[in-house]
Amino acid sequence: MTDKIEFDNKIKSKIKKYDKHERVLLFKVMEKIAEDPLRGKPLRYSLKGIRRVVFKHYRII
Protein backbone atom coordinates (compact mmCIF):
# COMPACT_ATOMS: atom_id res chain seq x y z
CA MET A 1 0.00 0.00 0.00
CA THR A 2 1.30 3.45 -0.86
CA ASP A 3 0.37 6.78 0.63
CA LYS A 4 -0.63 9.84 -1.37
CA ILE A 5 2.04 12.50 -1.86
CA GLU A 6 0.97 16.12 -2.12
CA PHE A 7 3.05 19.12 -3.17
CA ASP A 8 2.68 22.75 -2.18
CA ASN A 9 2.20 25.12 -5.16
CA LYS A 10 5.56 26.81 -4.45
CA ILE A 11 7.30 23.46 -4.62
CA LYS A 12 5.55 22.50 -7.87
CA SER A 13 6.98 25.56 -9.59
CA LYS A 14 10.47 24.85 -8.23
CA ILE A 15 10.35 21.20 -9.34
CA LYS A 16 9.54 22.32 -12.89
CA LYS A 17 12.86 24.25 -12.91
CA TYR A 18 14.94 21.12 -12.10
CA ASP A 19 16.58 19.35 -14.97
CA LYS A 20 15.08 16.04 -16.05
CA HIS A 21 17.67 13.91 -14.28
CA GLU A 22 17.03 15.60 -10.90
CA ARG A 23 13.25 15.27 -11.32
CA VAL A 24 13.57 11.55 -12.04
CA LEU A 25 15.75 11.03 -8.96
CA LEU A 26 13.38 13.12 -6.81
CA PHE A 27 10.34 11.11 -7.88
CA LYS A 28 12.18 7.83 -7.20
CA VAL A 29 12.86 9.04 -3.65
CA MET A 30 9.20 10.08 -3.31
CA GLU A 31 8.05 6.63 -4.46
CA LYS A 32 10.24 5.01 -1.80
CA ILE A 33 8.76 7.31 0.84
CA ALA A 34 5.23 6.46 -0.33
CA GLU A 35 6.01 2.73 -0.08
CA ASP A 36 7.57 3.07 3.37
CA PRO A 37 6.29 6.15 5.26
CA LEU A 38 8.55 5.33 8.23
CA ARG A 39 11.62 5.91 6.06
CA GLY A 40 13.83 8.80 7.12
CA LYS A 41 14.87 10.50 10.32
CA PRO A 42 12.13 11.21 12.85
CA LEU A 43 11.83 14.86 13.84
CA ARG A 44 11.50 16.05 17.44
CA TYR A 45 9.69 18.53 19.62
CA SER A 46 6.81 20.32 17.87
CA LEU A 47 7.38 18.25 14.71
CA LYS A 48 7.20 14.92 16.52
CA GLY A 49 5.50 12.29 14.35
CA ILE A 50 6.92 13.73 11.12
CA ARG A 51 9.95 12.35 9.31
CA ARG A 52 12.46 13.89 6.95
CA VAL A 53 14.48 12.47 4.08
CA VAL A 54 17.45 14.32 2.59
CA PHE A 55 17.72 14.39 -1.20
CA LYS A 56 20.87 16.12 -2.47
CA HIS A 57 20.70 19.49 -0.68
CA TYR A 58 16.92 19.37 -0.22
CA ARG A 59 14.94 18.13 2.77
CA ILE A 60 11.69 16.30 2.14
CA ILE A 61 9.36 16.49 5.14
Q: What is the pLDDT of residues 2-61, one digit of tens each?
A: 567 777 788 888 888 888 998 888 888 888 888 888 888 888 999 898 888 888 777 877
Residues 33, 34, 35, 38, CA torsion sign: positive
Residue 46 is predicted with a pLDDT of: 92
Residues 48, 52, 57, 58, CA torsion sign: negative
Distance CA 61, CA 54 (A): 9
Whether the pLDDT of residue 1 is over 60: the answer is: no
Residue 45 is predicted with a pLDDT of: 93
- The pTM for the full model equals 0.67
Distance CA 33, CA 25 (A): 13
